[in-house]
Structure 1
């Protein structure tokens, strides 16, 4: 990983697509972390995720875990490569002419957690479709943050507690 926690070749200054969203979530960092690492439950509160598959016997993400999922209609294989419990989670993945890295940064703030999520994408698809892709990711990531916070309208089960 390169500073600050970006994989080599996938840094915001070098990738054609970089998005950053943030939200103050009314949950403590431990609860936010629990919701993020429980990846098979993402579709319950984030409409942009489905068919999350972890290795047999695993119910949560962990360091080095490889997982497959469909996001925004695209099947992606990812590997968790940033793991600092209750503070930072990230994964890198490949799909359809694109390589990317998505990370979540958690900071306790008052009774809640400031959550920053960033994604970079490189490759032929992001190079050609950067304007559309960036706008789309910004919108969907804001929905993901709203679902994480328990907000309405993000998925059929949005706002339902996990666990």
Structure 2
């Protein structure tokens, strides 16, 4: 079952047929970026293809162990937060409800820089649904995350400019 998986170990790049990373320098503080990542109500403003996000544990923001459901790129997805180091690292693992054997693990690392933050994301995926999508368009996941980073940077920078 979902909760019994050791997500970080099970989804290491060496065990996953799909693995990609994306990174971007952002003119926003780690705190601002973090605030957007842990508040799913903000995701539709920067996360391409995200539908409603429902937190399943009564939390109002993500924290270690938070379980959530959302719609990503047309797939109803169940996930839970597996790593949580405030303002520096968050990761969740999950699967599309239509293909529970298709797993994904998405990590975010935020590093302070003199002008803001270095934002780095890594995702590993395995299972028939993801493999079939990758066969149809080998760059689809990487490209989607490039767009995600650019949109997140824009929203974070705008938020800081409004606050500052």
TM-score band (shorter)? 0.7 to 0.9
Residue 119 (structure 1) aligned to one of 115, 118, 123: 123
Match of 2:4 in 1: none
**Counterpart Cα distance in 2 of 1:106 and 1:65:** 20
In the alignment, structure 2 segments of 5+ residues that lack a partner are 1-6
**Deviation per CA, 1:55-90, whole angstroms, max 9, x where unpaired?**
364221111000001111101000000101111000
**Counterpart Cα distance in 2 of 1:133 and 1:112:** 33
Match of 1:25 in 2: 26
Following TM superposition, by how much is the alpha carbon of 1:129 offset from its aligned partner in structure 2, in angstroms? 4.0
- Other structure's SS at 2:78 match: strand
Following TM superposition, by how much is the alpha carbon of 1:159 offset from its aligned partner in structure 2, in angstroms? 7.2
Match of 2:39 in 1: 38
Residue 100 (structure 1) aligned to one of 92, 104, 122: 104
Contact 2:25–2:119 (CA under 8 A) maintained in structure 1: yes
User: What is the TM-score of this pair, normalised by structure 1?
Assistant: 0.83
Contact 2:32–2:159 (CA under 8 A) maintained in structure 1: no
Question: Which of the two has greater helix per residue?
Answer: 2
Contact 1:16–1:126 (CA under 8 A) maintained in structure 2: no
**Counterpart Cα distance in 1 of 2:113 and 2:138:** 28
**Counterpart Cα distance in 2 of 1:77 and 1:40:** 16
**Counterpart Cα distance in 2 of 1:80 and 1:134:** 27
Following TM superposition, by how much is the alpha carbon of 1:143 offset from its aligned partner in structure 2, in angstroms? 1.2
**Deviation per CA, 1:85-131, whole angstroms, max 9, x where unpaired?**
11100000011331110010111111211001111111122344434
**Counterpart Cα distance in 1 of 2:27 and 2:87:** 15
User: What is the TM-score of this pair, normalised by structure 2?
Assistant: 0.83
Aligned alpha-carbon RMSD (Å): 2.4
Match of 1:161 in 2: 159
Contact 1:17–1:134 (CA under 8 A) maintained in structure 2: no
Which moved further from structure 2: 132-141 or 27-36? 132-141
Question: Size of the alignment, in residue pairs?
Answer: 153
In the alignment, structure 1 segments of 5+ residues that lack a partner are 1-5, 152-157
**Counterpart Cα distance in 2 of 1:101 and 1:13:** 13
